[in-house]
Amino acid sequence: MTTLATTSTAATRRGAAGPARRRDLLGAEWIKLWSLRSTPVVLGVLLVSYLYLAYHAAQLAHDSYPTWPAFAKLDPDPAHDAFDFPKFLLLMATAGTIGAMTVAGEHASGLIRTTLIAVPARGRVMLAKVTVVSVVLAVLGLLIGVGCWGITLAVVSDRITGFSFTTPGIWRVITGTTVVVPVCGLIGMAVATLIRNTAGTVFAVLAFFLVGPLAVKAPLPLLSANQRADLGNTLPAYAWGRLTIMSHGRLVEHVSSIPAAWTSLTLWALVSVAITVTVLRHRDV
């Protein structure tokens, strides 16, 4: 009886410690991320900046509306101004850099060694980091998506009518923005996991998010125009850009379908998580 009771008590303790350890891992990663002064500052600046950019673009559209040609007035797309593609490339690059620094920064400082001494299960540590970064960036994306659309409506609604938060397609736009920000962060984490050098990681992330979308539109050797378009549509930037199109007048040749855009973002996220969680298991730190 004593042996059974002791075994039962030990098993109970192990079962109770499991969920607590997961919470501890998430809490530790949250502290690592949020204790850096740069984290709330950068996130706050991004939020305020993109809300202002949406306000400025909406104000320009509002002031120029009387001069629009008739066909443009028949099929307006306020989301095109609220979620301007070139401006949001910088948001994606910044999100990618934030994600990258959560990994590269720990390798540079040596904190990753201390963490793995405390918790040798490397996969669980990285999965907790992925979870925290994804949630924080998703909240940022949601605030930017809702805020940009809300500000746009407030500015243009007296001239450009028929749009609201119930407009068909707008929640696809907001959800796409909510999703693409953490996806970019996950890509940054995967790049940092592979490179493990701060300068090289930042360069690679910025090149991917800022140069990549432009490079695939340039005449590339051995690739036809259709192949370049297909390659571009696989990038997170163009997948997000497709999700933010609400006007038929904005659709051009070689634009991917909405399901293909969602699939692209999903695959980028899954592959990035797989790299971040598994590669560290086979490397020294």
Residue 14 falls inside a structural domain:
no
Looking at the structure of the chain, the number of domains it has is 1
Which residues are CB-neighbours of 114 under 8 A, at least 6 positions away? none
Best CA proximity match to 181, nearest among 90, 51, 267: 90
pLDDT at position 108 is: 81
Residue 15 falls inside a structural domain:
no
Q: Provide the residue range defining the domain that includes 276.
A: 21-282
Residue 2 falls inside a structural domain:
no
Q: What is the pLDDT of residues 45-62, one digit of tens each?
A: 999 999 999 999 999 988
Which residues are CB-neighbours of 178 under 8 A, at least 6 positions away? 138, 141, 142, 145
Residue 218 falls inside a structural domain:
yes
Note the pTM of the prediction, 2 decimals: 0.87
Residue 129 falls inside a structural domain:
yes
Q: What is the pLDDT of residues 209-246, one digit of tens each?
A: 999 888 887 777 777 777 777 788 889 999 999 898 87
Task: Please answer whether residues 278 and 194 qualify as being in contact, where contact means their C-beta atoms are separated by less than 8 angstroms.
Answer: no
Residue 67 falls inside a structural domain:
yes
Does residue 94 register a pLDDT over 80?
Answer: yes
Residue 5 falls inside a structural domain:
no
Residue 225 falls inside a structural domain:
yes
Task: Please answer whether residues 121 and 18 qualify as being in contact, where contact means their C-beta atoms are separated by less than 8 angstroms.
Answer: no
Q: What is the pLDDT of residues 147-175, one digit of tens each?
A: 999 999 999 988 888 888 998 889 999 99
pLDDT at position 20 is: 45
Residue type, 246: M
Q: Residue 125: which H helix or E strand, with range? A: helix 122-156
Q: Which residue has the tokens 């904190």?
A: 111
